[in-house]
Amino acid sequence: MKFLIVQAYWYFDTLTGEFRYRIKNPGEVLADHPDYHVVNIHVFHPLFAEVALNADLLILHFMPDAEIDHVISLRKRMGKPTLFEIPDNFLSLGPWVPPEDAHRSPYIRQQLLYYATRAEGLQFSSAGVSQTFGFLNSQSMVFENQADHFDPKKEDGPLVIGWGGSKGHEEDLARIAPVIIDFCNRHADVIFSYMGYPPIFERHFQGKLPRAQARMRAAGPIEDYFQFLSSLHIGLAPLSNTDFNRCRSDIKFVEYAAHAVVPVLSDAPPYRVHGRHGDNALLFETNEELTAILEDLVADPDKRNELARKTYRFASNRRAAVNHVGRRHTFYQRFLRHDPFAADYPDLPDCSGLIAYLRIAVDHYTDSRYEQCMENLDKVLGIHANYGLAHIWRLKCLLETEHYREALETYGNYTPPAIYSDLYYEAMAVAARELKLDGWTKIVVRIDDPVLRLELDPSTIADPLTRLRTILEHNPYHYKSLISLANLTASREERGELLDRLCFMDPDSEMFARMRTEN
């Protein structure tokens, strides 16, 4: 008998590095362990409601979805553990993340923090993330990103210095761009190779490097990135000292090392262990130090080649994904104190088309295009009539368009999958309340979540201070309640503690910082 481990995720793009390192790689190495059967599933998959409850161990990868609270509650009653993963410092996002991004929403942050406290344990991608969020749960573990692709081979040709990354690294790259440009202009036999967002290359390098010494390729699937790494001799990883960057993983170092690329890295927390005392990378603080390192590597090919071989040995011996399954096994065994669910579990059907349709519908809903949302939901339900999450979104759409009676008539006898029952009763209670039907409060009491019940029917606790404190006992990061209670309470000590939580949730808020100072 094997334990069924389910990794649930929200990523729509499964070709990214984040998906590979946080879902795909761990799942594959765990699946090779004799004790485990592993299933990876998208939260929109039609079978998610069933699989999430069947799992012996459910791992939720950074999921703020409204149904997750009930998933955790139902699993607690079944005696089944749930873990929650936080992969980065989502409370300190950089300027590359647009203002409308969901992770800037205090309500999304509220859910993520709340679920982290409710799960039986947490897992993190780096020590920095653990230091920031570890207090949320007494059971936690850091699982660093590990490599599963190694290629030490190098083609004959000119020396290639390279950088590859996302939009979030533009500021870091811009800081060292003058060094790269000056260095290449002084060394005609050196090539700078770039992989990423083309406009970043155009802004910082176009026309400033001799054409023969510049290579540019657009970002693509991670397999293309591995091919890019194999063409490099020296890899650059500048990293500025920000709250977000201090919580990054050291995967850039690992990728360089796994492809026998000499890592030249910022002297920053994620990389510090690998240089100076670790001796598997070269670290720099200033542009002058970076220039000196590059000059030394160009002047001493033997040193460069030896460091490339040494760092490759380190990666293949110490940072190969297959060598780290034991740490996961040890941590997961803390929670698996029951008999396994089943020896085998059938492969999930490919529902990528349905998931894509539902994603389009949800995007329409988010942008208040309810007619288009309903059209897409009808397509989805025409293909899969029992798609529980699609029915929940259709019900939500009926409420937004004030079709309350249609909602009650259409879904009055509907039985949703268990994990969506709170969302279902919430919608039905709202519809009945808007129609001023006498029995709407009887629907509210069928909701499992006490916070949701109080939000829908505040009259059950008449005193506002008691009501707000009751909500915060259940969800200590309930955003509206934190603000309301901070404005109502006369206790300086309580107000200060509430403002500390608000400042943690939104460290960039000048209003909360000012309120805390005034307190």
Does residue 135 fall inside a structural domain? Answer: yes
Domain end (from 318, 353, 382): 318
The half-sphere exposure of 48 on its side-chain side, counting CA atoms within 13 A, is 26
> Could you tell me if 248 and 328 lie in one domain?
no
Domain housing 500? 461-519
State whether 200 and 281 are in the same domain.
Answer: yes
With beta carbons less than 8 A apart as the criterion, state whether 446 and 432 touch.
Answer: no
* 200 and 275 share one domain: yes
Is residue 99 domain-resident? yes
Residues 111, 200: one domain?
A: no
Which residues, including other chains, have CB under 8 Å from residue 454's CB and lie 6 or more apart? 460, 461, 467, 470, 471
Total domains present in the chain? 3
Same-domain pairing of 139 and 178: no
Query: What pLDDT tens digit does each residue of the chain (519 aa) get?
Result: 889 999 999 988 887 888 999 999 999 999 999 999 999 999 999 999 999 999 999 999 999 999 999 999 999 999 999 999 999 999 999 888 898 999 999 999 999 999 999 999 999 999 999 999 999 999 999 999 999 999 999 988 899 999 999 888 999 999 999 999 999 999 999 999 999 999 999 999 999 999 999 999 999 888 899 999 999 999 999 999 999 999 999 999 999 999 999 999 999 999 998 886 668 999 999 999 999 999 999 999 999 999 999 999 999 999 999 999 999 999 999 999 888 875 567 789 999 999 999 999 999 999 999 999 999 999 999 999 999 999 999 999 999 999 999 999 999 999 999 999 999 999 999 999 999 999 999 999 999 999 999 999 999 999 999 999 999 999 999 999 999 999 999 899 999 999 999 999 999 999 999 999 988
User: Strand, coil or helix: what is 18?
Assistant: helix
Domain match, 15 and 136 both: yes
Q: Give the pLDDT confidence score for residue 342 in this predicted structure.
A: 58
| Same structural domain, 27 and 176 | no
Domain check: are 94 and 116 in the same one? Answer: yes
**HEC string of 360-424?**
HHHHHHHCCCHHHHHHHHHHHHHHCCCCHHHHHHHHHHHHHCCCHHHHHHHHCCCCCCHHHHHHH
Rounded to whole angstroms, the Cα distance separating 273 from 167 reads 26
Q: Distances in Å between the alpha carbon of 107 and those of 65, 113, 448, 480? A: 11, 10, 20, 9
Please check whether residues 297 and 222 belong to one and the same domain: yes
CATH code: domain of residue 193? 3.40.50.2000
Residue at 404 is within a domain: no
Per DSSP bridges, beta strands 121-124 and 140-142 are parallel
Domain boundary among 302, 333, 364: 333
In angstroms, rounded to a whole number, what is the distance separating the alpha carbons of residues 515 and 518? 5
128 and 180 inside one domain: no
Out of 303, 333, 363, a domain closes at 333
Work out the number of other CB atoms within 10 angstroms of the CB of residue 517: 8
Residues 142 and 165 in one domain: no
Give the three-state DSSP class for 349.
coil
Does residue 441 fall inside a structural domain?
no
pLDDT in the model for residue 490: 87
